Chain A
Amino acid sequence: MLLYIARRFFLMIVILFLVSIMVFGLINIIPGDPASLMLGQEATPQALASLRQNLGLNDPLYLQYIHWVGGVLQGNLGYSLSDHTPVLNILLSKIPVTLELTIFAFLLAVLIAVPAGIISAVHKGSVWDYVTTVFALSGVSIPAFWLGILLIYLLSLTLGWLPPSGYVAFAQNPVRNIILMIMPSIALGIRLSAQLTRMLRSSLLEVMQSDYIRTGYAKGLLEKAVVFKHALRNAMLPVLTVAGLELSSFLGGAVITETIFAVPGLGQLIVNAILTRDFPVVQGAILFMAFAVVIVNFLVDIAYSLLDPRISLGGASK
């Protein structure tokens, strides 16, 4: 296990290094000069030259990259080009917002998917099964932005139950925070919950037909015991894989949801930083996202071995 963690850690550094080169390269390839964006349409060539010099944009690319990576290794992600705020501070204020949204959406997805998936698999062909299937199909097909707009129209404008958008930190006003998070979490989480429901249903159906389940029933075990103790655990493996992959993609999906609900998270930050060519902010944020994806995958792998003892992580361990 320890060996495995060490190996994964090493791999993570390699991945992050490659990501850092890619991000740096890509953002510098796209046209659009931060200095001219900062100075606006009417900038004089002298002002542009002087600003580029101040921002260090005149250095050759490899030098800029080395400066940046050198800073990152010392925990300094650089400064925003637009107003000189440290990138780390910006990220620290945005990450919790997106993380909260992601976790809420994920919890919501799991809370819906697990019961729905079990019911529809156990009572295959029943009304519940059809209802769940319809939900799952529509959930997968509805884009988050459209669902978001529908939710605002229904819950805010028509019924007036929820505020249409905004964000308040949990520490300041927990109730308000959760109220404001309801709609974004639904918009972001519904798709995953639909996917998980479908996955769980099919995987549970498959497991339910295996011999040991029949044996369980034959032994006279209660259905509850068969489903929850024996079938569910084996059926969860593929579901977990999907959940893990999707959780990482949440970070990307949050971009649209955050825009619709005016949630000041990472997604909005990145879009804005790209539009203003605030290179250090984009680089820092993407690097963090890559880090998050690697960590999530790592946690999913650990969860595998908890669910199925036959899967060993290190290869060397038992």
Chain B
Amino acid sequence: MFIEYIVPIGVFLFIGGAAGAALTFASRALYVETDETVDKILNCLPGINCGACGLSSCEAYAEAVKKGENAPNMCKPGGLETAQGIGEVLGIEVLPQERETAFVHCAGVTTEHKYIYVGTESCVAAGRYYNGKGNCSKGCLGLGDCASVCAYDAISFQNNAAIIDPGKCWACGMCVPVCPNNLISLRKHSERVKVICSSPSTLKETRENCSHGCLGCGACVKKCLRDAIKIENNCAVIDYEICKSCGVCAVICPPKCIAVDGYKRAEADSEKKPKEAIPVPLQGGDY
């Protein structure tokens, strides 16, 4: 009785007590002092470690803000709430940056495919074979390298081309460098007019390959009321410092490759699918 029950209980109680004492001692002796301000800032941050601020984690950013190395309004996913929170902690007024969204500069409506691709489901790999299966060598390859890095599940595919849901996108910028054709850029919400093509090919080639490709015809340059558009590399480029989002260019563009507030995808096979306009939040953003 004594050996069978009392001794084991005693042994375990002793081990437990000793371990508890050791842990208590360790936590006192090896205590690392944390900065209260950093903790408070960290509480304001969304804690998703997206990297949009340029640092590896939210903690690193909180420390950088405390030390004054980084501006307190760099957290894009946090938006207004985070900015105000950090402002309260630091006792200063912090204005949030304008919300941005990633945008794919390709309508994804190349007319036909050159070959049937059976390789790895990766844009970089597919791009090695004759610059992808689409006729346009600079267009979206549609195999989802960007979607695979998106932490917010904001990228979906229509017509084999990536499309970004502005409601879900927090402009962390993870998708920008992975696109082998450099089609994705971060755009502020006030920059409402966008060119949905970035192909440098000539007018003849673009016309053959894509119904929505920028021809570099220059019609938008002539009609622009503020001279905000230039043709660079056979493709229209908008200077957002000047552009006031009037939308004249979008109306007169012959291939309809300039759009205001998103654009209608699925025009290539419009008979099968209902046309869907992407909801773009109003100017100023709904934080």
Q: Do A and B bind each other?
A: no
Which residues of chain B have a CB within 8 Å of any CB of chain A?
Answer: none
Interface residues of A (CB under 8 A from B): none
